[in-house]
C-alpha cells in the first residue's frame, strides 16, 4: 500500500472514531477540537450558538460522510447568509448583497460605459443578479464586447461573493466573514474561529489596496511601477515585499490614521454594509462629511450624522466639540472645530471657498493612473511580462513565472470559474501623485478628480495578431470626483489652483502672458498622446477647453468640469485674490517662525 493511501485510510479511521460518540452537536468537537463559539449568545437561541446553528450538518449521524450532509464550510457566504447570519441579524444579508462591495456596480457599469457597451454609467449590471441589477453578461470578444471579458477575468476579484485572491495581503473569506473574520497577510484567521464585530484597517485593505478607489494611501502606501522592483526572480532583501500583488511606495499616512482612527470610526455601518439603496457611484453612497465632526468655520458641529441621516454612534457633541470614541482603540479624541475670526486660516475665510470640498486643499496628494494600456494577450510565453507582473493580478503573476511557457495562456473567469484563452495585461502611461486636477462634484463643490480609467485597448486574436490595436473606445476617457484618504493639516498653496491651468483641468500647459482685456490663451501642452499615434485632441489631464467644453466624460452623476466664466476667473485672479494670498503667506511665515528651534 502506498504512503498516500495509508495516510488517507488512517485519517478515515480516526474520523470514524471521533464520531463514535453521542449523536449531538458536541460530536463536532470530537474531531474539531479546540474550537469555541465564534460569538456571544444569540438573540434567536438565547444561548451560545452551537456548531449546527451556523454550519448545518447532520447531528444524528454517527460517522462520516453522513455527519457532513448539508454542511456549510463558510456559513457567511452571501447565498447562505439569510439562513445563518440573518437569523440573528435580520435584513442585513439583503442590504449587504445590494451594497457596492457585493455588486461592484460602479466599476462594472462605468467601465462598460467607457467601452461603449451601454449608453450611460447608470447601474444595470452586477456580479450577481440582485434587485433591478442583472448579472454581468457572458463576454463576446469577437462581437465587440471584450469589456465584459476584461471585467470577468481581470477586475472582479474584490467583491463579497468570492474569497480574496491568492496573494499576500489579499487572502480573506467570502461573505460576511470577509470583514468579520480578520486575517493576516497569509490568510490565517487572527482570532481563530471567533468573529470580530469591528474589522481592523488591515482587513479593509484586503480589497481597498488597488488603483480602483481610496484606501491604501490612508496608511501611507501608494502603488509603484519602478521597473527594477516590479519583478522578483529570486529573494532579494533590497526589493520591497509584494502586498496585494503590488509594489508600494511609502508616503505619509492620513492624519486621522496617525491619530489612531480606523476606517469604521468614520464610515458608519449602513455605509459599509449597505443601506439597501443601489446608487450610481460609490461617492454617492458615502454620506460621511468633514463637518459632522469639525463643523464649519465659526459653526461648531451640531449633530453627528451623515448626509444620509445615518447616526455616527461613536461620536457625541458636547460643549460645541465632537468627541470621537475609537471603536478599536477605545480612546476618545476631541475633533478640532474650525475657527473663525482673525486667527482663522485665510483659506477658510476667503469668499467662494465655502464651495470647496475640504480635501481639495487638505488632500496631500492625488495618486492616480493617467492613461491605461490594456492588452488581451493570447500568445504563448507569458514570461515576457515578468518585469511588470506585479500589477495586482494573481493569475498573470502565476503564468509569468510558470515553468511551462509553451502553452497559450488561459485565465479563469472570476465569476463562473471557467478558463478562457488569453490573459489581460495592464500598463499605465503615467502614475502620478502630484498631478492635481479639479472639477465640480455632484454637490457643486470643487473636488479632486481621478481617472477611472482612460483606456487604450489592444486585443490579439487566437493567432496572436492584433484585431484591435491601440484604440481608445468611445467615450473611453473618464474621470470621477473622489476623496483621497491622505488628509494633512497643512494645505496646498493658493497658486496651486489659482492661475494654474493644469489644476483647472486644461492640461499640461500654462497661461500665456497677455493683456487683461484680451481672452486668455494657453501655451501648447507639454506632452500629447497624439504624438504617439493615439486619437486624442489633448493630453490625459485635459478635461475641458477654455470655452468650457468637456473633453472627457464624468462618471458620477452631477459632476462636471469648470464652466467657461469660472475658468477665466480662476485663471486670472484679481485684486481680492492678491489680498488673500498675502494674508495666507503672512500666516505661513509666522507659523514657520514659531517652529524654529
Nearest C-alpha neighbor of 274 from the set 224, 241, 310, 239: 310
Mode of pairing for the β-strands spanning 368-377 and 446-460: parallel
Mean pLDDT to the nearest integer, 431-437: 94
For residue 229, the model assigns a pLDDT of 41
Residue 32 has pLDDT above 90, yes or no: no
Quick one: pLDDT at residue 345?
85
Chain segment 239-253, per-residue pLDDT in tens: 556 777 787 888 999
The proportion of the chain whose per-residue pLDDT surpasses 70, expressed as a percent, equals 91
The pLDDT value recorded for residue 230 is: 40
Once rounded to an integer, what is the mean pLDDT over residues 8-16? 42
Q: Report pLDDT digits (tens) over 265-274.
A: 999 999 999 9
DSSP track, 53-118: HHH---TT--STTGGGTT--SSTTSTTTTTTTHHHHSTTHHHHHHTSHHHH-HHHHHHHHHHTTSS
Average pLDDT over residues 395-413: 94
**Cβ(327)–Cβ(314) under 8 Å?**
yes
- Of the pLDDT bands very low, low, confident and very high (cuts 50, 70, 90), residue 7 is very low
Question: 19: pLDDT confidence band, cut at 50, 70 and 90?
Answer: very low
Mean pLDDT of 421-445: 95
What is the predicted pLDDT for the residue at 180?
96
% of residues, the chain, pLDDT over 90: 65
Q: Which long-range contacts (CB under 8 A, 24 or more apart) does 8-15 make?
A: 12/64, 15/63, 15/64
SS3 for 424-466, per residue?
EEEEEEEEECCCCCEEECCCCCEEEEEEEEEEEEEEECCCCCE
pLDDT: which is higher, 91 or 242: 91
Q: For residue range 273-284, what is the model confidence (pLDDT) as tens digits?
A: 999 999 999 999
Mean pLDDT taken over the chain: 88
232: pLDDT confidence band, cut at 50, 70 and 90?
very low
pLDDT at 193 over 50: yes
- The pLDDT of residue 596 is 64
**Is 50 or 132 the better-scoring residue by pLDDT?**
132
Q: 531 pLDDT exceeds 90?
A: no
Residue 16's pLDDT is what?
Answer: 40
**pLDDT for the residue 43:** 61
Q: What is the model's pTM? A: 0.91
pLDDT band of residue 213 (cuts 50, 70, 90) is confident
| Best mean pLDDT range from 167-181, 225-239, 287-301 | 167-181
Chain-centroid distance of CA 247 in Å reads 17
**Residue 279 cell numbers, joined:** 446608487
Report pLDDT for 44: 57
C-alpha cell of 54?
451556523
Residue with cell 493617467: 370
**Spans of all domains in the chain:** 50-90, 264-356
103 vs 341: which has the higher pLDDT: 103
* 375-390 pLDDT per residue, tens: 999 999 999 998 888 8
pLDDT value for 5: 47
Amino acid at each position: 500500500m502506498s504512503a498516500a493511501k495509508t495516510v488517507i485510510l488512517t485519517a478515515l479511521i480516526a474520523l470514524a472514531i471521533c464520531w463514535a460518540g453521542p449523536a449531538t452537536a458536541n460530536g463536532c468537537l470530537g474531531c474539531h477540537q479546540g474550537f469555541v463559539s465564534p460569538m456571544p449568545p444569540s438573540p434567536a437561541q438565547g444561548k451560545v450558538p452551537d456548531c449546527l446553528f451556523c454550519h448545518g450538518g447532520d447531528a444524528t449521524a454517527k460517522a462520516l460522510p453522513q455527519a457532513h450532509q448539508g454542511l456549510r464550510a463558510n456559513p457567511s457566504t452571501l447565498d447562505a447568509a439569510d439562513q445563518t447570519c440573518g437569523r440573528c441579524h435580520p435584513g442585513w444579508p439583503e442590504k449587504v448583497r445590494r451594497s457596492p462591495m457585493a455588486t461592484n456596480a460602479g466599476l462594472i457599469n462605468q467601465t462598460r460605459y467607457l467601452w461603449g457597451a451601454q449608453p450611460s454609467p447608470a447601474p444595470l449590471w452586477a456580479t450577481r443578479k440582485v434587485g433591478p441589477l442583472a448579472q454581468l453578461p457572458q463576454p463576446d470578444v469577437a462581437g465587440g464586447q471584450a469589456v465584459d471579458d476584461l471585467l470577468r477575468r481581470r477586475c472582479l476579484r474584490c467583491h463579497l461573493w468570492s474569497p480574496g485572491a491568492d496573494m499576500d495581503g489579499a487572502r480573506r473569506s467570502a461573505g460576511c466573514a470577509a470583514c468579520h473574520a480578520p486575517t493576516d497577510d497569509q490568510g490565517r484567521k487572527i482570532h481563530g474561529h471567533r468573529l470580530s464585530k469591528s474589522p481592523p484597517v488591515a482587513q479593509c485593505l484586503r480589497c481597498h489596496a488597488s488603483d480602483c478607489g481610496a484606501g491604501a494611501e490612508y496608511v501611507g502606501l501608494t502603488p509603484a511601477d519602478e521597473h527594477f522592483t516590479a519583478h522578483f526572480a529570486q529573494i532579494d532583501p533590497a526589493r520591497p515585499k509584494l502586498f496585494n500583488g503590488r509594489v508600494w511606495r511609502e508616503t505619509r499616512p492620513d492624519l486621522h490614521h496617525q491619530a489612531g482612527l480606523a476606517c469604521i470610526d468614520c464610515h458608519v455601518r449602513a455605509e459599509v454594509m449597505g443601506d439597501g439603496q443601489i446608487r450610481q457611484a460609490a461617492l454617492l453612497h458615502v454620506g460621511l462629511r468633514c463637518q459632522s465632526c469639525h463643523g464649519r468655520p465659526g459653526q461648531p458641529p451640531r449633530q453627528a450624522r451623515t448626509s444620509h441621516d445615518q447616526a455616527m454612534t461613536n461620536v457625541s457633541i458636547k460643549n460645541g466639540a465632537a468627541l470621537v470614541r475609537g471603536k478599536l482603540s477605545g480612546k476618545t479624541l476631541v475633533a478640532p472645530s474650525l475657527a473663525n475670526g482673525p486667527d482663522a486660516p485665510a483659506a477658510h475665510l476667503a469668499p467662494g471657498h465655502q464651495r470647496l470640498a475640504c480635501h481639495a486643499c487638505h488632500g496631500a496628494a492625488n495618486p492616480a493612473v493617467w492613461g491605461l494600456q490594456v492588452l488581451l494577450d493570447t500568445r504563448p510565453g507569458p514570461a515576457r511580462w515578468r518585469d511588470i507582473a506585479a500589477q495586482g493580478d494573481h493569475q498573470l503573476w502565476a503564468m509569468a513565472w510558470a515553468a511551462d511557457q509553451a502553452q497559450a495562456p488561459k485565465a479563469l473567469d472570476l465569476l463562473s470559474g471557467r478558463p478562457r484563452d488569453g490573459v489581460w495585461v495592464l500598463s499605465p502611461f503615467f502614475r502620478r501623485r502630484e498631478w492635481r486636477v479639479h472639477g465640480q462634484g455632484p454637490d457643486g463643490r470643487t473636488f479632486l478628480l481621478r481617472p477611472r480609467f482612460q483606456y487604450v485597448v489592444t486585443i490579439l486574436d487566437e493567432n496572436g495578431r492584433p484585431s484591435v490595436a491601440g484604440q481608445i473606445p468611445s467615450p473611453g476617457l473618464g474621470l470621477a470626483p473622489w476623496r483621497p484618504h491622505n488628509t494633512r493639516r497643512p494645505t496646498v498653496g493658493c497658486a496651486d489652483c489659482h492661475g494654474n491651468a493644469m489644476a483647472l483641468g486644461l492640461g499640461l500647459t500654462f497661461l500665456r502672458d497677455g493683456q487683461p482685456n484680451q481672452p486668455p490663451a494657453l501655451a501648447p501642452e507639454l506632452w500629447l498622446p497624439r504624438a504617439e499615434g493615439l486619437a486624442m485632441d489633448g493630453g490625459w489631464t485635459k478635461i475641458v477647453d477654455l470655452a468650457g467644453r468637456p473633453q472627457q466624460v464624468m462618471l458620477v452623476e452631477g459632476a462636471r468640469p469648470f464652466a467657461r466664466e469660472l475658468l477665466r476667473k480662476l485663471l486670472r485672479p484679481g485684486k481680492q485674490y492678491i489680498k488673500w494670498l498675502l494674508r495666507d503667506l503672512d500666516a505661513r511665515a509666522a507659523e514657520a517662525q514659531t517652529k524654529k528651534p
